[in-house]
Amino acid sequence: MARPARAAFVTLLATALCTSTGAGLVSSARAVPGSVQTADRSTQQAPAVLPPATTEGVAPTAAGVGTALAAILKDPSLGPHHGIYVYDASRGKPVFSVGAATPYTPASTLKLLTTVSALATLGPDHTFATKVVSAGKGSIVLVGGGDPLLAVQQASDYPARATLQALAQSTAKALKAQGVASVTLGYDASLFSGPAINANWEANYVPEGIAAPTSALWVNEGRLSPGMAKRATSPALAAATSFQKLLTQYGIKVGAAKAAAAPAAAKPLAQVKSPTLGQIVEYVNLHSDNDGAEVLLRQVGIATGNGGSYAGGVKGLRATLTKLGLDVSKARIYDGSGLTRSNKVPLDLLAGAVRVAVSKDHPELRHLLSGLPVAGFNGSLRERFTSAGTGTGTGLVRAKTGTLTGVHSLAGYARDRSGTLLVFAIASDSVPVPKTLDARAALDRATAALANCGC
């Protein structure tokens, strides 16, 4: 579908949404030129609200879905190890699978497991605080709370970040109120433990800026400056140095920052709080944020009592997924972002993260769904669904992407032409390198076929 057609689709979709709910109907009535408005609002009657759809059309069958996907799944660009798993979420049952008997290297679709676990353990309204505490007369400590999106100053993107600038301003105000104009500065990033760099990652990941050493205290995800790939070797020190410069700008004399342990019972002089976890999850999945996912993995470890290392995070993740009713027995998981090729995950488990999020039993997991990229429109699917055979998925498929050299995957959901909500996971981890774009397009066609399926 061409871009102008997509714009028309968005307008049409927005119009449909505005005329299918009570609130939308009220707004539409008020906007009609020449409409009669009575002076006494108390006598007006609210327009009828359309009842929600409670029934689905014809149930999809394994044979029907298989026919719709048959030619696509024979595409040689997918390589010898590829498969798909499709679940009918409207009726609560698997409907089709092929090549799903063995696990796959998931790449970034693994983030679905990390983010659904974070939502399940901490809740969507949870926030992470970055604090400044007193460590004695004339001494303060900057304490990291594991905020993955902490920034030096506010940017224009969503969600609004907690910033060191705001924290420095509040800290300076509190110090001046106490008559303090000069301090020593320590920094404490001890919330997370164990190695900062995952031992299962490729050696070039951190030097090339693909990932940062994971820290409970960083700004701009460890980048030396916003938008740059290169990361600080010590993100916590880099954050503390930025904070020291900001304090100086706000009239507090402060020397170079040094690592320190914050007193356990110290009350904060000032603090800033992250966006909600629900907003962070949306950001991580929309942009396929490796660093944010690694921080959330460690937060899962802490929340489940397994500690703030990546190993503790994985242990907590597996326990959380099991509590959600997902089978992790065949999965090998080593990080939270999907960067390592050592990860091996069954397709039904990847789809399972989405399946539990759409369940009426787990409203706390909805942000997993609302943050998934929309085919052809935003996030990591913005430039996808442009080739032949993918137009029927544009705007209708929502999915997390996964990409490594030789690996492509998608996991998400689409509502088919009969009204059935289909959850899916599709992957290949044997793509011939020259065929990488062809394989990606094949995955797009497969999920577009599901959206167009009346099968």
Residue 144 half-sphere exposure toward CB, CA atoms < 13 A: 34
In the CATH hierarchy, which fold is given to the domain comprising 62-123+280-452? Beta-lactamase (3.40.710)
The dihedral through the CA atoms of 410, 411, 415, 417 has a sign that is positive
Please report which confidence band the pLDDT of residue 224 belongs to, taking 50, 70 and 90 as the band edges. Answer: confident
Please report which confidence band the pLDDT of residue 17 belongs to, taking 50, 70 and 90 as the band edges. Answer: very low
Out of 8-12, 152-156, 209-213, 365-369, give the one with best mean pLDDT: 365-369
Sequence-distant (≥ 6) Cβ neighbours of residue 124 within 8 angstroms: 276, 277, 278, 281, 364, 365, 366, 367
Q: Cα–Cα distance between 417 and 405 in angstroms, integer?
A: 34
Q: Is the pLDDT of residue 334 over 70?
A: yes
Give pTM, 2 decimals: 0.87
Tell me if residue 170 falls in helix, strand or coil.
Answer: helix
Q: Is the pLDDT of residue 31 over 80?
A: no
Q: What is the 3-state secondary structure (H, E, C) of 25-83?
A: HHHHHHHCCCCCCCCCHHHCCCCCCCCCCCCCCCCCCHHHHHHHHHHHHCCHHHCCCEE
Question: Where do we find the tokens 């390198």?
Answer: 433
Q: How many residues comprise the chain?
A: 455
In this prediction, residue 154 carries a pLDDT of 87
Please report which confidence band the pLDDT of residue 39 belongs to, taking 50, 70 and 90 as the band edges. Answer: very low
Across 280-291, average pLDDT: 97
In this prediction, residue 56 carries a pLDDT of 63
Tell me if residue 414 falls in helix, strand or coil.
Answer: strand
Distances (CA, A) of 358 to 38, 286, 352, 364: 42, 17, 10, 10
Contact, 84 vs 380, CB < 8 A?
no
Q: Is the pLDDT of residue 18 over 70?
A: no
Q: Is the pLDDT of residue 227 over 80?
A: no
User: 341-357 burial string, b = 16+ CB within 10 Å, else e?
Assistant: bebbbbbbbbbbbbbbb
Please report which confidence band the pLDDT of residue 226 belongs to, taking 50, 70 and 90 as the band edges. Answer: confident
Q: Is the pLDDT of residue 291 over 70?
A: yes
Sequence-distant (≥ 6) Cβ neighbours of residue 163 within 8 angstroms: 150, 151, 152, 153, 154, 272
Classify 359 in phi/psi space as left (phi over 0), alpha (psi -120 to 50) or beta. beta
**What is the amino acid identity at position 280?**
I
Please report which confidence band the pLDDT of residue 206 belongs to, taking 50, 70 and 90 as the band edges. Answer: very high
Across 409-427, average pLDDT: 96
What are the structural domain ranges in the chain? 62-123+280-452, 129-275
Question: Where do we find the tokens 């030096």?
Answer: 152
Please report which confidence band the pLDDT of residue 51 belongs to, taking 50, 70 and 90 as the band edges. Answer: low
> C-alpha angle 414/419/425, rounded to 5°?
25
Across 138-143, average pLDDT: 96
Q: Cα–Cα distance between 148 and 315 in angstroms, integer?
A: 20
Transcribe 252-313 into DSSP letters: -EE---EE-PPPTTPPEEEEEEPPPHHHHHHHHHHHT-HHHHHHHHHHHHHHTTS-SSHHHH
